[in-house]
Amino acid sequence: MGKGVAVVVGGSVAGLACAHAVAGAGWDVVVLEKAAAPAAGGGTGAGLGLDAQSMETLARWIPGWGLDAATLPLAVDLSRATDSETKAARTLARDDNFNFRAAHWGDLHRRLHEALPPAVTVLWGHQFLSFEAPDDARGVVATARVLRTGETVDVTGDLLVAADGSTSSIRRRFLPDLKLRYSGYCAWRGVFDFAGKESSDTMIGMRRAYPDLGSCLYFDLAYKTHAVLYELARSRLNWLWYINGPEPKLTGASVTMEATDAMVARMRDEAERVWCPELARLIRETAAPFVNVIYDADPLPRLSWAGGRVVLVGDAAHPTTPHGLRSTNMSVVDASALGRCLAKWDTELTPARALAEYEAARLPVVAAQVMHARRLGRIKQGLPVDGEAEGFDVRMATAEDALQLRQSTMPFFGGAPTADDGGL
């Protein structure tokens, strides 16, 4: 029997990262996840960038991960301007010391799941419904619906870890007035599988137009829009294209929107107008592109609640725009910091103090990174920032102007402090 039982709500990357960290602190962990099974590592999800701090942490949780086989280097951060009329590109800013790795969400999720320690139980197909933290008891009780049978079950623990994403129902319980903030743009996303097609005209053109693929994070900026491109392991290219527009109407809790055939057709035609022929062709040939509506939220006042019995992690704690590649990296460091604090629960620290240390370590970091990511996205989309009347205009940007596009401007870019780094 461990130090206590932690109930983790959400079995995505953030939830499984917490399971690793909390189990490593000597706790038993129960994860509630509505998906019927873990990711298979194939086409599920899309690409993500992992910084050096996250890679070091993940290597501890996933022994023998096979870094070189599972990820590709993102050694270069390159921003380029595209002239939509001539299709010519020019370099705006280049950083040859980026030191990230490119991973596929499905690959990372599968590996995190396969490496879970024995102290972790994942209840797949369990949809979280509600929780109670009675004033006269130490623990928490989470209620979930078993989707296969329709029955409801209660899971009792000493701590509830909310890893239930940017639309977190647990966060809403404590902060009912906190609303997600629409960024002003949406992202088309896709993963192009070129296995067996390396010698195709599409890939020959892409290698010519993007010669550093396999080691570079490309940002192509056109007037009031930008696209992201990088290579993933196992012959895949990950791309995103951000488009300004009014907030779409969403149904349910997901921020991913199913695209109709007509929407996809219009998007592909617009890509021909905006981007170089090689990128437009890649977009046209990508199967099943989808839309993420981009939200964030103002920084939260706290991360722990109910007298040290409920704690927020990942996107539940800091909904953020994708700029700066922070979401997964913040989740991994959240989990690591939480594990370090919980290792001292009931030995050196009370429950409330343990979570207060976690909050003190993480809240200043995630607040700064969320706000910087918001600003960076608005700059790249040509939207006004800092009260200015006009936004960044890539057509007239100078080399000095372009320095603000570099990912290394992100606060704590070199690594965030965790709970035992002497900063508390």
137-184 residue pLDDT tens: 678 999 999 999 999 999 999 999 999 999 999 999 999 999 999 999
The 3 state secondary structure assigned to 103-144 is EEHHHHHHHHHHCCCCCEEEEECEEEEEEECCCCCCCEEEEE
> Within this chain, do residues 289 and 337 fall inside the same structural domain, yes or no?
no
Domain that holds residue 287: 67-104+180-296
Q: How confident is the model over 273-301, as a mean pLDDT? A: 97
pTM, two decimal places: 0.94
Does 219 score more than 70 pLDDT? yes
> Within this chain, do residues 155 and 247 fall inside the same structural domain, yes or no?
no
> Within this chain, do residues 275 and 206 fall inside the same structural domain, yes or no?
yes
> Within this chain, do residues 174 and 184 fall inside the same structural domain, yes or no?
no
Does 273 score more than 80 pLDDT? yes
> Within this chain, do residues 248 and 370 fall inside the same structural domain, yes or no?
no
Distance (Å, whole) CA 21 – CA 339 = 5
Q: Is the residue at 345 inside a domain?
A: yes
* Token pair 């590996």 in the structure block, residue: 111
Q: Please give the radius of gyration of the chain, using alpha carbons only, rounded to the nearest integer.
A: 22
Q: Is the residue at 270 inside a domain?
A: yes
Beta bridge partners of 229: 218, 239
Distance (Å, whole) CA 227 – CA 179 = 27
> Within this chain, do residues 313 and 330 fall inside the same structural domain, yes or no?
yes
| Tally of domains within the chain | 2
Q: In this structure, what CATH number is given to the domain that contains residue 40? A: 3.50.50.60
Count CB-CB contacts under 10 A for residue 57.
21
> Within this chain, do residues 127 and 147 fall inside the same structural domain, yes or no?
yes
> Within this chain, do residues 127 and 81 fall inside the same structural domain, yes or no?
no
Q: Angle at Cα 300 formed by Cα 294 and Cα 301, nearest 5°?
A: 165
* Run of H or E residues at 179: none
> Within this chain, do residues 266 and 281 fall inside the same structural domain, yes or no?
yes
* Token pair 């390159």 in the structure block, residue: 78
Q: How confident is the model over 328-349, as a mean pLDDT? A: 93
Q: Is the residue at 423 inside a domain?
A: no
Of the three residues 296, 319, 340, the one that is the final residue of a domain is 296
Q: In this structure, what CATH number is given to the domain that contains residue 275? A: 3.30.9.60
Contact by Cβ (8 Å): 164, 32: no
> Within this chain, do residues 245 and 160 fall inside the same structural domain, yes or no?
no
Distance (Å, whole) CA 393 – CA 378 = 11
> Within this chain, do residues 83 and 23 fall inside the same structural domain, yes or no?
no
> Within this chain, do residues 112 and 28 fall inside the same structural domain, yes or no?
yes
β-sheet with 72-74: strand ranges across: 47-50, 100-104, 72-74
pLDDT in tens, 175-214: 999 999 999 999 999 999 999 999 999 999 999 999 999 9
- Phi first, then psi: give them for residue 371, nearest 5 degrees: -70, -35
Does 422 score more than 50 pLDDT? no
Distance (Å, whole) CA 36 – CA 15 = 15
